Amino acid sequence: MDRIILENKSILLLLEESVEMYKKYFQYEKIDGTSRKIVNRIPENAFREAIANAMIHRFWDINAFIRVSMFDDRIEISSPGGLPSGMSEAEYLDGQISMIRNPIIGNVFYRLRYIEMFGTGIKRINKSYYDSITKPEFKVYENSITIILPTVLSTASLTSEEQLIVQLFHGNLKLSRAEIEKQSHYNKAKLIRILNSLSDKNIIYKSGKGRATKYQLR
């Protein structure tokens, strides 16, 4: 529906124009009685952090763009350049080690309060989704890193039957249909209908085939 290429500008301006594009499609005003409030379909803090993170850690000496793909149910932010040498994927996701590829940019962003302490970006993104069923994803490749920010979804938007099924996955469990059927006491037809509904809402996904099929929260 829309497309914009941002280049040959200050990275501070690139950041702000990216946020403006985010606001256009994922932020709206809601009137509640006599008051108005801003509703974020995706946490603004998480988006800002993901864009800043991409700028701080990307390779700037290769002819490639940071790509921000906006879908109805998520935003994907892909940054050119893998992890800094000496950092593992687990260390990156846990935020225990801070190894900034572009320390000058990092220091500028820190002093302008675009980011907090170095190395806490992933934790802050995850914290933004604390009350959401949907959670962010982080995909680390050899030459790029992708952060996926889903639209937030609370249990209040689900039916009572869907809420019951979601609760069964507490602790990030992987369950087979038979296990879910046994714990929920729903018959096969009804359970399949609920699982399909949760899948359509991007809350659960299934992996494997046949009897090895498992369901899990996204």
pLDDT band at 135 (very low <50, low <70, confident <90, very high): confident
13-18 CB contacts, 8 Å cutoff, 24+ apart: 14/55, 15/48, 15/51, 15/52, 15/55, 15/114, 18/51, 18/68
| pLDDT score for 117 | 66
Q: What is the CATH number of domain 11-150?
A: 3.30.565.60
- The CATH number of the domain covering residues in 155-217: 1.10.10.10
Pick from 64, 93, 77: nearest CA to 26: 77
- Compute the distance between CA of residue 146 and CA of residue 174 in angstroms, rounded to an integer: 24
The token pair at 185 is 């006491």
pLDDT-derived band at 97, boundaries 50, 70, 90 = low
Judged against a pLDDT cut of 80, whether residue 84 lies above it is answered with: no
pLDDT for residue 96 is more than 80: no
* Burial group, residue 5, by CB count within 10 angstroms (0-12, 13-18, 19+): exposed
What is the model's pLDDT at position 118?
Answer: 63
76 versus 102: which is more confidently predicted? Answer: 76
Domain with CATH 1.10.10.10 in the chain: 155-217
Mean pLDDT in the chain?
A: 86
Q: Taking the C-alpha atoms of 50, 51, 52 and 56 in order, what is their torsion angle to the nearest 10 degrees?
A: 100
